[in-house]
Structure 1
Amino acid sequence: MSYQQPISNGPPIERVTVMQGQALASASPAIEYSTVLGSCVATCLFDPETRVGGMNHFLLSEPPANIPGAKIDEHYGVYLMELLVNEMLSKGARKQNLRAHLYGGANVNRNMMKIGSMNAEFAREFLRREGIMLLREDLGGTQARRVDFRPASGQVRLRTVEDRFAPPVKPAPTPVVTRGDVELF
Structure 2
Amino acid sequence: MTDYATLSTRDIERLSRNIKPGEWAVEGERPISTLLGSCVAVCLYDAALRLAGMNHFMLPQMKKGTHADEDVLLAGDACMEALLNAMLQRGAAKHRMRAKAFGGGAVIDATAPGMLAVGKRNADFAHEWLEREGIPIVASDFLGPWSRKILLVPATGDAYCKRVTSGLISQESLRREELAYAESLLNKPATVANKKIELF
Normalised by the length of structure 2, the TM-score is: 0.75
For the aligned residues, what is the CA RMSD?
Answer: 2.2
Which one has the largest radius of gyration?
Answer: 1
CA contact (8 A) 1:44 1:56 kept: yes
- Answering whether residue 154 of structure 2 is matched by residue 151 of structure 1, we say yes
Partner of 1:127: 130
Give, as a single letter, the amino acid of the residue that structure 2 aligns with 1:25. V
- Answering whether residue 37 of structure 2 is matched by residue 34 of structure 1, we say no
CA contact (8 A) 1:63 1:70 kept: no
Deviations 1:28-52 (A, max 9, x none): 2xx1111100000000110111111
CA distance in structure 2 between the aligned counterparts of 1:109 and 1:83, rounded to whole angstroms: 26
* Structure 2 segments unaligned to the other structure (5+ residues): 190-200
Give, as a single letter, the amino acid of the residue that structure 2 aligns with 1:106. G
Partner of 2:198: none
Partner of 2:26: 25
Deviations 1:164-185 (A, max 9, x none): 1563212113379xxxxxxxxx
**Residues 70, 146 of structure 1: CA spacing in aligned structure 2 closer, same or farther, 3 A cutoff?**
same
Higher helix share: 2
CA distance in structure 2 between the aligned counterparts of 1:62 and 1:126, rounded to whole angstroms: 12
CA contact (8 A) 1:46 1:152 kept: no
Map residues 87-102 of structure 1 onto 2, 5 A cutoff: 87-102=86-101
The offset of 1:132, in angstroms, is 0.4
CA distance in structure 2 between the aligned counterparts of 1:149 and 1:162, rounded to whole angstroms: 20
CA distance in structure 2 between the aligned counterparts of 1:68 and 1:19, rounded to whole angstroms: 22
CA distance in structure 2 between the aligned counterparts of 1:119 and 1:109, rounded to whole angstroms: 13
The offset of 1:69, in angstroms, is 8.2
CA distance in structure 2 between the aligned counterparts of 1:107 and 1:114, rounded to whole angstroms: 7
> Percent identity at matched positions?
32
Partner of 1:71: 68
CA distance in structure 2 between the aligned counterparts of 1:152 and 1:133, rounded to whole angstroms: 19
Normalised by the length of structure 1, the TM-score is: 0.81
Q: Tell me the SS of whatever aligns to 1:58.
A: coil
Give, as a single letter, the amino acid of the residue that structure 1 aligns with 2:93. R
CA distance in structure 2 between the aligned counterparts of 1:78 and 1:54, rounded to whole angstroms: 16
Q: Tell me the SS of whatever aligns to 1:62.
A: coil
Q: Tell me the SS of whatever aligns to 1:8.
A: helix
The offset of 1:90, in angstroms, is 1.1
CA distance in structure 2 between the aligned counterparts of 1:150 and 1:46, rounded to whole angstroms: 10
Give, as a single letter, the amino acid of the residue that structure 1 aligns with 2:159. V
Give, as a single letter, the amino acid of the residue that structure 1 aligns with 2:20. M
The offset of 1:108, in angstroms, is 1.1
Higher relative contact order, structure no. (Cα contacts within 8 Å, ≥ 6 residues apart): 1
